[in-house]
A and B are shown apart, each in its own frame.
Chain A
Amino acid sequence: MTYKENSEKYIENYNLSIGDTIKVHKEDISYTGILLDRPEDAEDGFLVLKLSSGYNIGVAIDNTTAELVEKGDKPKIGYDESEIPKDPSKENISVISTGGTVSSVIDYRTGAVYPKFTASDLVKANPELLDYANYNVKALYNIFSEDMKHEYWVKAAEEIANDISDGADGIVIAHGTDTMHYTSAALSFMLKTPVPVIITGAQRSSDRPSSDANINLIDSVIAAKGDIAEVCVCMHGSLNDNFTYLHKGTKVRKMHTSRRDTFRSINAQPIAKIENKKININPEYSYTKRGENELEVNTNIEEKVGLVKSFPGISKDFIEYHIDKGYKGLVIEGTGLGHTPNELIGSFKRAKDENIPVIMTSQCLYGRINMNVYSSGRELIDAGVISAQDMTPETAYVKLCWALGQSDDYNKVKEIMQTNIAGEFSVKSSIKDFLN
């Protein structure tokens, strides 16, 4: 129960519990309803009643008395646990839930959408999933997307590897959308996979009829059964509920705070379009086929890496701070082709001297880093700043974390950063790859 001081005392005083039908008497009116819990962040001094009409109201407890009408059960969220049936003729897909909107339900403990659902609830809430595959479902952890940490990437990669070793024909990861593209990049670097690893989520929570979760999930299962054995993000391709895109895990980014089609391939095209339950692979894209790779897991990762955005008037303190605090690497979101104010160059030199790789990305997001065009860029190169080519800042950040996990040798890390590990950069910029 999240009722606070006065309300809590009041409820205890009248010996009431959540779920009871109660009657609250005010001076000139009485309300009868089911006592519900109250959002954690809401003001003290109120009770929440669900009236028989279905409406909730807040009743201020000042100058009121209450009485119990009927004892009730605390309303439960979720489905009964029961076995999910298996069909030996179907593929085995492993569904791993991490929390977030795709696997959440209303929690009126806080009055907010909370990632409370387990992956098994997910399959039961979407029974048509059973037409496509058998499911091994587990809730790996239950966190908000924004609370994602490096250690969770490691845990996820290990779990996926276990499932693949155990015979999973494909993996679907339910993930909150905010940091989905960081996780997709991390898994891309950590895993060489013989089967598809599909990350999906929802922009409209699964507790509402209009949720995009159902379609994203079903298309993810279809992708997980398919032939593209890569780490991909599968999300709505437009505002319509009629197709999804499969994006390369290292080339994708959340580009809108709320739209369903928020995920976009940046400096790339989606790998495939899934429409009417069919995968249409982009013919220009050469992908890793199912079974082509042996399973390899490399989860070594360095957590102490910074990501700093340049802006007019930025002081070198931002860079010095990271060096002073012992950061092992730094990704810069420079302006334009990859620039920062001149003032920072000295700090970059210091970083290099202390074996701290500095990677340059662009806050333009679209396009390629080229530090040769202007003298300020050339000075950055001279200071040892490494180009991220056309990687997004987020992918570059995750890659640097992973590269520093592989080696603490500056030159080795530089070499890794300049080697294409998981399709994270391309050498050619296509006319098509902008704002799409």
Chain B
Amino acid sequence: MDYNELGLKMGLEIHQQLNSEHKLFCPCKTELVDDDYNELIQRKLRPTQSELGEIDRAALQESLRGLNFKYENFEKHTCLVENDDEPPHSLNEEALDICITIACLMNMHIVDEFHTMRKQVIDGSNTGGFQRTGMVATDGYLDTPYGRVVIESLGLEEDAARRIETKDGFTEFRLDRLGIPLAEITTDPSMHDPAQVREVAYMLGQILRSTNVKRGLGTIRQDLNISIAKGARVEIKGVQDLDLMSEIVEREVQRQLVLIDIKEELEKRNAEVLEEIHTLDDLFVDTESKILKSAETIKAVVLKGYNGLIGREVQPGRRFGTEIASYAKKRGVSGIFHSDELPAYGITQDEVDKVTEFLNIGDDDAFIIVAHDEDIAISALEEVKRRAALGLEGVVEETRKALDDGNTEYMRPLPTANRMYLETDIPLFKITEDRIEPIANNLPELPDVKQARIIKEYKLSEDLATQLVKRQEADMFEAILADVDVDATPVASLLAYDLREIKREGYDVNILTLEHYKGIFTLLSEGKIAKDSVRKLAVETIKTPDDDIAEIAEKNNLTMMSEDDVAKIIADIVAQNEGMVKERQMGAMGPLMGMCMKQLKGKADGGLVNKIVREEIQKLI
């Protein structure tokens, strides 16, 4: 695909949890909780008028779903603020300062005054029906190998509650995550190359990790904005794997191209979505289809001129019909039947013919069936009609969810700007020069700068230094070397390579503290253990972290032998192989070294063994 020709434009939106001690507007800790909740609270939400006097269309749509919510409360871990039963406390200044740090690292302009806004979100993930959010900085940039990328804005906002399950008409959320401060970084939508998007996401991640942010699964979320010239803007939520970025882009472009194609075909056919919702109950009295048989009612709509197009694949394994179905599903049905896929699902050709006759449709026409309770079936078919009709407009502006295979699925319409109004419970917050200056003068080292410095300062290979920084072990590396006078390479290689393997073997490497590392490398620097034993000693230390490191080394036979003992063993081995030495002279060096190292591995330094073996051979020849 020629992305340039298609006018592909992409932008990134990144949400990163901050590692402040308290939440953004209450004193609760910023930790997730796996305890049982103490109380479950039931709530409803309804959309309200915004500051500019118009009810927002996305908010209105969500309200139609009429969902009820349950919130898991904790006596210790959450408070009345998360519950929306107490007004928010003052803005968390620690979180603001972290954002100011991030803003400075991205060359941004910090606003003079921070205004906390309410962004209406009535899917229940925020108890108040809005997320509190504010603009900290705008207009920064990042220089990438693909050119400069403009960072449009940096927001500071509350994370949403954790969705636990949806059951019996209630969606249950846990309140532990609600209110954890999030930095929201938005680039301008001017990137044209998927590889660049990937690089920018990576760089932003590196910048964020150099500041006081949360680490680990779920603490950073990447959303992708994407459009092509003839298409429309689509926001893809939750791109977890950066390596999947190109695949997602490719499949979204493909989807938009097919939708444009479908639109053109529909126009040619003068296609039209008919208003009437038909009841087909009488046609399916004796049906073999389990879904139809168990449903209260079977209803259908006619799509004139849509025949063959509903079955068109828009993404691998997903059809235009899937797009329509995902709208219907928001009304509580588990799916739809469309004429392009029938007969199937227990619906026979005979039944299809009966429906075709009953609906009185022609060869170019299609129909969609929904089977459910009366209310839900009608409401779902209204959505079917709406989405099918949008087919005539080509690509629809949507928020979509990234799926694991690189496909995307409809979530909700794109939010409009007037979802936001002022949070009147929190005073405006002036950001003074006095606040910014000390932060700007003490910025953390960026990963690439740190890497270059480490290579130079510790004479490490580029690969080792890269891995250290990437795995966020550089600080530990430097802390160890600040106290222990030891060769840098084994320290770096334990942290950069071995830890990962040890972790893969199932050990919890987080048990190892700076003190443990210092103990291990002190033994190495004093010649008490061999380089080869460092990894094994680390593993044994994880098993018994409270024991003395020297004792652990001793117990596991990792301590080096004295030079005398080593010499004795080597002398024995050489003596046993006197014949070979006599015969091969110095050529016996290789095999003898092999035999000695086999016995002395981890107990003697290789250089020393080499020296003694050489001496012993020379004695014999």
Contacts and interface: CB of A to CB of B under 8 A. Distances in A.
B424 interface: yes
Contact of A54 (B46, B47, B119, B424): B119
B44 A215 contact: yes
User: Residue among A51, A77, A239 with the most chain B CB within 10 A?
Assistant: A239
A210 B128 contact: yes
Interface stretch (A42-50, A376-384, A399-407, A415-423): A42-50
Given A209-B128, A240-B41, A57 B424 contact: no
A57 B119 contact: no
Interface stretch (B2-10, B79-87, B277-285, B375-383): B79-87
A39 B41 contact: no
Given A48-B115, A57-B115, A209 B51 contact: no
B130 interface: yes
Nearest to B134: A55
Given A111-B424, A258-B80, A207 B48 contact: yes
B120 A56 contact: no
B612 to A, nearest CB: 70
A436 interface: no
Given A54-B417, A57-B115, A75-B53, A208 B48 contact: yes
Contacts of B112: 46, 57-60
B428 A58 contact: yes
A46 B428 CA distance: 11
User: Residue among A28, A76, A111 with the most chain B CB within 10 A?
Assistant: A111
Interface string A159-185: 000000000000000000000000000
Contacts of A59: 111-113
A258 B134 contact: no
B43 interface: yes
Interface string B416-443: 0111111010011010000000000000
B499 interface: no
Interface string A99-127: 00000011010011100000000000100
B118 interface: yes
B129 A208 contact: yes
Interface in A36-78: 39, 42-43, 46, 48, 51-60, 75-78
A79 to B, nearest CB: 8
B122 interface: yes
B478 interface: no
A42 B116 CA distance: 14
A75 B52 CA distance: 5
A53 B87 contact: no
A142 B258 CA distance: 57
A211 interface: yes
A39 B428 contact: yes
A60 B127 CA distance: 34
Interface residues of B, number: 53
A56 B422 contact: yes
A4 interface: no
A435 interface: no
Nearest to A57: B111
Nearest to B111: A57
Nearest to B68: A241
Contacts of A9: none
Contacts of A370: none
Contacts of B53: 75-78
Nearest to A61: B112
A259 B39 CA distance: 15
Contact of B51 (A28, A108, A113, A204): A108
A389 interface: no
B135 interface: yes
Contacts of B87: 258
B138 interface: yes
B84 A53 contact: no
A53 B428 contact: no
B122 A209 contact: yes
Contacts of B134: 55
A430 interface: no
Contact of B135 (A39, A55, A206, A258): A55
A429 interface: no
Nearest to A262: B85
A59 B112 CA distance: 5
B183 to A, nearest CB: 14
User: Residue among A42, A79, A113, A240 with the most chain B CB within 10 A?
Assistant: A240
Q: Which 7 A-B pairs have the closest CB atoms?
A: A209-B129, A58-B113, A54-B420, A54-B417, A55-B135, A240-B42, A60-B112
27 contacts: A29-B109, A42-B427, A43-B430, A51-B135, A52-B417, A54-B417, A54-B418, A54-B419, A55-B420, A58-B115, A58-B430, A60-B112, A60-B113, A77-B49, A105-B49, A106-B422, A106-B424, A108-B51, A208-B128, A209-B120, A210-B45, A211-B48, A214-B46, A239-B39, A240-B41, A241-B44, A258-B87
Given A48-B115, A75-B53, 16 more contacts: A55-B117, A55-B420, A56-B420, A58-B113, A105-B49, A106-B51, A204-B84, A207-B48, A208-B118, A211-B46, A215-B44, A240-B42, A241-B42, A241-B68, A258-B86, A259-B85
